[in-house]
């Protein structure tokens, strides 16, 4: 049976088994190398208050928050796009 993707939709390579993570949106269990992970900076301070405090020289702490999404949730949020069919596969030469 032909493969749809050369990497089978993962970043695993030849590692064997990888640990699983839970999607932060729907809770689906997916392999860590297949998940789409996004790091965003979070601050508990209101943005308007943070601007005022930074003008006065205060240092506002920001924390990195990494969220992992399954493929369907990442498409729903617009983190990854559904590509046209011509762009999905690399064009391969004739099989001899």
Question: Please, what are the averages of pLDDT over each run of 10 residues along the chain (96 residues)?
Answer: 82 90 96 95 94 94 96 95 78 57
Buried/exposed code over 40-52 (b: 16+ C-beta within 10 A; e: otherwise): eeeeeeeeeeeee
Look at residue 7 and tell me if it is in a domain.
no
Look at residue 26 and tell me if it is in a domain.
yes
Report pLDDT for 64: 97
Look at residue 73 and tell me if it is in a domain.
yes
Look at residue 91 and tell me if it is in a domain.
no
Q: Which domain holds residue 76?
A: 20-80
DSSP string, 16-81: ----EEE-TTT--EEETTTSEEEEEEE-SS-HHHHHHHHHTTPPPP-EEEEEEE-HHHHHHHTSS-
Look at residue 86 and tell me if it is in a domain.
no
Look at the chain and report how many structural domains it folds into. 1
Look at residue 14 and tell me if it is in a domain.
no
Report pLDDT for 96: 58
Report pLDDT for 14: 86
The residues, ordered by sequence, that sit 6+ positions from 72 with a Cβ below 8 Å of its Cβ are 26
31: CATH: 3.30.1740.20
Look at residue 43 and tell me if it is in a domain.
yes
């Amino acid at each position: 049976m032909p493969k749809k993707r050369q990497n089978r939709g993962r970043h695993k390579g030849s590692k064997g088994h990888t640990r699983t993570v839970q999607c932060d949106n729907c809770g689906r269990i997916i392999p860590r190398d297949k998940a789409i992970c996004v790091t965003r900076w979070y601050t508990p301070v209101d943005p308007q208050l943070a601007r005022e405090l930074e003008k006065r020289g205060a240092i506002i702490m920001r924390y990195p928050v990494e969220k992992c999404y399954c493929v369907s949730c990442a498409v729903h949020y617009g983190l990854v796009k559904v590509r046209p069919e011509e762009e999905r596969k690399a064009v391969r030469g004739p099989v001899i």
